[in-house]
């Protein structure tokens, strides 16, 4: 197959979304193709398309790490099924690596780049992508996983909220005026990436955040929809406030919001405390991701 590669232009985006609906093999990814593209395009980065016989054959998006601009990320690579195994993916990946190197990157990760990402890494069920990563010189670095929460049988939060209120803890939806305090709390206790995700969840369509306060001090937060509408996270509670039941209340309040949009399930992304989510809402590990890196 003969194909050409060009820089991604704004006018290409509708066609790229259509391509992703076809090229993202998992239905839950294809269904959110437009939201994924819109989110990833918010971050300045690099993007290229491949065209064959006048038809879009593939796309790649990349960005520099929010933590270290010597590290590049491949945020999305998708090739139309009919164009696979013909060098399109390899060529797009090489072009993105070169562009990221030109911006100072000395290594590239096939891994999510918080606060703007669509996946932690390559879902293990995307076998062609795993094979392409290995063939292109990437080495597996880490493994991450998501948990799936069933939203149809969520326990009510009101009894727990009443207990928290009796101890001086208020739980409510976050508003724009709360963002500075939430960002400060996330940075102090967790990471800049989480701070960005929390900030981006407030006021965004299909997203939201709930927080817990005592005497005006943030004790914890839970957010959803920052990366994708069907994804929950991040969530964090101050070490001194753990054990009060704040996390479970914040989690269920967010999942209830997602249920009210019409979702039956939500993805708890890039999970750390598996036992907590399994106990709090009966979540189960479902999606597993390989994360890769390559020295340029």
Residues 233 and 206: beta-carbon distance below 8 Å: no
Distance CA 224, CA 200 (A): 10
Could you report the per-residue pLDDT of 87-131, keeping only the tens digit for each?
999 999 999 999 999 999 999 999 999 999 999 999 999 988 899
- Does an H or E element contain 18, and which? helix 13-23
Could you report the per-residue pLDDT of 61-88, keeping only the tens digit for each?
999 998 899 999 999 999 999 999 999 9
Question: What 3-state DSSP class applies to 271?
Answer: coil
- φ, ψ for residue 121, nearest 5 deg: -170, -145
pLDDT at residue 128, rounded to an integer:
84
Distance CA 111, CA 140 (A): 10
Chain position carrying tokens 């395009």:
41
pLDDT at residue 1, rounded to an integer:
83
Mean of per-residue pLDDT scores for the chain: 96
Distance CA 246, CA 74 (A): 36
Nearest alpha carbon to residue 95 among 72, 127, 120: 72
pTM: 0.92
- Burial, 165: exposed, middle or buried (Cβ in 10 Å; 0-12, 13-18, 19+)? exposed
Q: Which residues of the chain have pLDDT under 70?
A: none
Distance CA 152, CA 253 (A): 13
pLDDT at residue 38, rounded to an integer:
94
pLDDT at residue 292, rounded to an integer:
98
């Amino acid at each position: 197959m003969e194909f050409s590669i060009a820089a991604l232009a704004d006018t290409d985006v509708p066609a790229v979304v259509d391509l992703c609906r076809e090229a993202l093999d998992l239905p839950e990814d294809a269904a959110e193709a437009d939201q994924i593209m819109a989110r990833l395009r918010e971050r300045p980065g690099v993007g290229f398309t491949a065209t064959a016989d006048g038809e879009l054959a593939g796309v790649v998006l990349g960005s520099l790490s929010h933590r270290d601009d010597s590290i590049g990320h491949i945020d999305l690579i998708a090739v139309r099924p009919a164009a696979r195994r013909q060098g399109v993916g390899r060529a797009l990946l090489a072009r993105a690596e070169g562009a990221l190197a030109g911006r100072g990157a000395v290594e590239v990760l096939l891994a999510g780049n918080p606060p703007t990402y669509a996946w932690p890494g390559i879902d293990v069920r995307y076998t062609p992508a795993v094979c392409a990563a290995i063939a292109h010189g990437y080495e597996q670095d880490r493994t991450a996983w998501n948990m799936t929460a069933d939203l149809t049988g969520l326990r009510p939060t009101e009894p727990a909220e009443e207990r928290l209120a009796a101890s001086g803890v208020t739980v409510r939806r976050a508003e724009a005026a709360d963002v500075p305090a939430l960002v400060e709390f996330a940075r102090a206790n967790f990471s800049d990436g989480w701070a960005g995700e929390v900030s981006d969840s407030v006021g965004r369509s299909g997203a939201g955040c709930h927080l817990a306060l005592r005497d005006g001090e943030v004790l914890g937060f839970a957010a959803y929809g920052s990366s994708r509408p069907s994804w929950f996270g991040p969530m964090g509670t101050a070490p001194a406030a753990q054990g009060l039941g704040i996390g479970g209340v914040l989690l269920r309040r967010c999942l209830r919001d997602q249920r009210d949009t019409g979702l039956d399930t939500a993805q708890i992304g890039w999970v750390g405390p598996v036992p907590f989510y399994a106990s709090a809402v009966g979540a189960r590990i479902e999606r597993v991701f390989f994360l890769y890196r390559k020295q340029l």
